[in-house]
Chains A and B, each alone.
Chain A
Amino acid sequence: MDERVARAVEESIQQYHDVPGGLLPLLHAVQDALGFVPADAVPGIARALHLSRAEVHGVISFYHNFRGKPAARHVLQICRAESCQAMGARALEAHARMRLGIDYGGTTADGAITLEPVYCLGNCACSPSVRLDDEVHARVDAARLDELLADIGAGAAP
């Protein structure tokens, strides 16, 4: 474990080890600091919380949000839920995959974008929606998505 990882994990453990049911906030803290939850963080977390490694791994793998490997500089989430489907999300997904040349869970070769599905951003009155890092965007069609990607200087045309 490199020093930066070790420090982030240790700080998260310090903050949450005695909070009742603190494993989720602890894992969020690790991921907020590092962008992912490294596999070699698991034994230390398990020890501090008096859990088995299997239990900690089980929690990490249960929740869609926790990543086992680093994400790209930007995370693009496309809403796949019904409200967005009714407004053309299926075509938008296809466009994003083609344009970025990756599938869900993938990262572009330049390390700029990780593509993820999301089931509802709660922005359903103005579908389709995407989330780029912490910003939600409404009424996104293929052209608007290209603009958003251009704004962050990512996703060269195929």
Chain B
Amino acid sequence: MTARLFLPRDTTAVALGADRVARVLAQEAQRRGLSMDLVRNGSRGLFWLEPLLEVEQDGVRIAFGPLDVAAVPSLCDALATNPLEHPLCLGPVEDIPYLKAQQRLTFARVGRGDPLCLDTYRALNGFAGLQRALRLDSQSIVTAVIASGLRGRGGAAFPAGIKWQTVLDTPGAQKYVVCNADEGDSGTFADRLLMEADPYQLLEGMIIAGLAVGSTKGYVYLRSEYPRAREILTEAIANARVQEYLGNNICGSGKAFDVELRMGAGAYICGEETSMLDSLEGKRGMVRAKPPVPAIAGLFGQPTVVNNVLTLAAVTTVLEKGSEFYRDFGVGRSRGTLAVQLAGNIRRGGLVELAYGASLRQLVDEFGGGTYSGRAMRAIQVGGPLGAYLPESHWDIPLDYEAFAGIGAMLGHGGVVVFDDTVDMAAQARFALEFCAIESCGKCTPCRLGSVRGVEVMDRIIARESPARNIALLQDLCDTLEAGSLCALGGMTPQPVRSALAWFPEDFS
């Protein structure tokens, strides 16, 4: 009998050696005359266990990990006798507490099969949302998204349905759907995982967006730092065209929609939606003044939906299972699920999808299992390089946009970066300003010059030159950045700086 095995092919699994394991496994199987069908799936997002091999036995997938090539011979021995006895055996993959305790909607399908196999996608309810959308008129699709309470997952958390309504209501010769896949925040990898492990879900969400607003043309703006996602998406788009999910006759409906993949070129600022639109137009990625918002005058001046990867993916769930189903997850005005990404100095790093409302402490302790170094946890930066550094007194905060905004922090794209007690918060504050100086598009003065001056002031503070006076000057500079910048880069760089000053003052004196 042919054994069916699954080993991920996504960036992180491969970065941890999955391709080497796959090679040795194939050699070992051949040497032993074992018949083996190795499927290269996507990761389940339990990155601390990668490379994670799954072996199908009586319809149950048994997990082994983290594997290295040295463990392959003993694993092959165990597979021939009693797999459950192997020291790296983790039992049925779906019973691993880290996975079992999650509420997976958007990431329910990742890891279950070959990400590029359309039959697998369909067998796992893929395109059910699209089929439903094809039976609805545009307004009904938009109304369903509004009713779901879905907010933008890129960080700004703007209600997706309201944006779509604006695009639907604005006349335009050629409307566009732009997927923001420029996932630049440190500590985030959810977009990448979705694109590498379940790419058709993103395409399905984009097609639904096109049907909803009357657009026939979509772009995915993908960052160049994601070569594997590029490879997988390119193939996914080609396959979707062949089977007429993209093109001039989507599923025989007579409706048209196509997607073009565009690569960024290493500019963080192009994750800002208006800067991304300029980049797509072939220009420097300069931030545009709003209004007009992109929903009214976006790409090439046309009404444009700009949504993050996870927002578009979530739409498939809303359409498939209904607005109420989706809205019933979450708290307050944060509805549905959030893909939290545990990163930095964390023992069990990975993707945790939960309804909004769980506490940060629950995430880093129960899922994350404390620091990787084993030292005490000291600071957690949530929401990327522009997010606040939180001290332990704030770790009981619920994951909810309004709760974070209430303490001068942000949830952003859900990145959670843990630091142990060796962190120097003055160095982190300096880095935030340095990063802003490197990545500023240069359009507005507070961001372009203020960031450079900020690094200089921080250097004086670190050198203990008139600290009180220089800290006052830095605060004043932060006021200017916050009030006078055109976009979130300049406007929110003060968050990590101020949080470090306020909550870790001992590192500045």
CB distance from A90 to the nearest CB of B (A): 8
**A87 to B345 alpha-carbon distance, docked (Å):** 6
A62-B282 contact, Cβ under 8 Å, with A122-B11, A124-B186, A124-B188? no
Asked if A126 CB lies within 8 Å of chain B CBs, one says yes
**A27 to B372 alpha-carbon distance, docked (Å):** 41
| Cβ contacts under 8 Å, A63 to chain B | 264-267, 284-285
| Cβ contacts under 8 Å, A64 to chain B | 265-267
Number of B positions contacting A (CB below 8 A): 63
Binding stretch for chain A, among B81-89, B140-148, B418-426 = B418-426
Scan residues 108-137 of chain A and give those whose CB is less than 8 A from a CB of chain B: 118-127, 129, 131, 134-137
A87-B372 contact, Cβ under 8 Å, with A62-B284, A121-B225, A127-B343? yes
| Cβ contacts under 8 Å, A62 to chain B | 267, 284-285, 441
| Cβ contacts under 8 Å, B225 to chain A | 118, 120-122, 131
**A64 to B225 alpha-carbon distance, docked (Å):** 11
**A100 to B50 alpha-carbon distance, docked (Å):** 30
| Cβ contacts under 8 Å, A23 to chain B | 282-283
Chain B 397-438 against A: per-residue CB contact (8 Å), 1 yes, 0 no? 000000000000000000101111001000010010001001
CB distance from B443 to the nearest CB of A (A): 11
CB distance from B149 to the nearest CB of A (A): 28
Scan residues 49-71 of chain A and give those whose CB is less than 8 A from a CB of chain B: 49, 55, 58-59, 62-66
Asked whether, in the complex, the Cβ of A119 is within 8 Å of the Cβ of B268, the reply is yes
Asked if A43 CB lies within 8 Å of chain B CBs, one says no
Question: Of B48, B281, B344, B372, which is in contact with the most chain A CB atoms at under 10 Å from its CB?
Answer: B344
A82-B263 contact, Cβ under 8 Å, with A21-B281, A126-B12? no
For B349, give its contact among A21, A27, A125, A134 (CB under 8 Å).
A125
Asked whether, in the complex, the Cβ of B282 is within 8 Å of the Cβ of A122, the reply is no
Asked whether, in the complex, the Cβ of B283 is within 8 Å of the Cβ of A59, the reply is yes
| Cβ contacts under 8 Å, A138 to chain B | 12, 15-16
Asked whether, in the complex, the Cβ of B282 is within 8 Å of the Cβ of A120, the reply is no
| Cβ contacts under 8 Å, A125 to chain B | 12, 47-48, 189, 341-343, 346, 349-351
Asked whether, in the complex, the Cβ of A25 is within 8 Å of the Cβ of B185, the reply is no
Asked if B14 CB lies within 8 Å of chain A CBs, one says yes
| Cβ contacts under 8 Å, B418 to chain A | 86
Scan residues 295-311 of chain B and give those whose CB is less than 8 A from a CB of chain A: 299-300
Asked whether, in the complex, the Cβ of A86 is within 8 Å of the Cβ of B267, the reply is no
Asked whether, in the complex, the Cβ of A82 is within 8 Å of the Cβ of B265, the reply is no
Asked whether, in the complex, the Cβ of A122 is within 8 Å of the Cβ of B344, the reply is no
**A40 to B381 alpha-carbon distance, docked (Å):** 45
Asked whether, in the complex, the Cβ of A21 is within 8 Å of the Cβ of B267, the reply is no
Asked if B192 CB lies within 8 Å of chain A CBs, one says yes
**A63 to B438 alpha-carbon distance, docked (Å):** 11
| Cβ contacts under 8 Å, A139 to chain B | 16
**A126 to B225 alpha-carbon distance, docked (Å):** 16
**A150 to B383 alpha-carbon distance, docked (Å):** 37
10 pairs of residues in contact across A and B, judged by CB atoms under 8 Å? A21-B280, A23-B283, A82-B431, A120-B186, A122-B191, A124-B417, A125-B349, A126-B12, A136-B228, A137-B15
Q: Which residues of A contact B (CB under 8 A)?
A: 20-25, 27-28, 49, 55, 58-59, 62-66, 81-87, 118-127, 129, 131, 134-139
> Top 3 closest A-B pairs, CB basis?
A125-B349, A81-B186, A23-B282
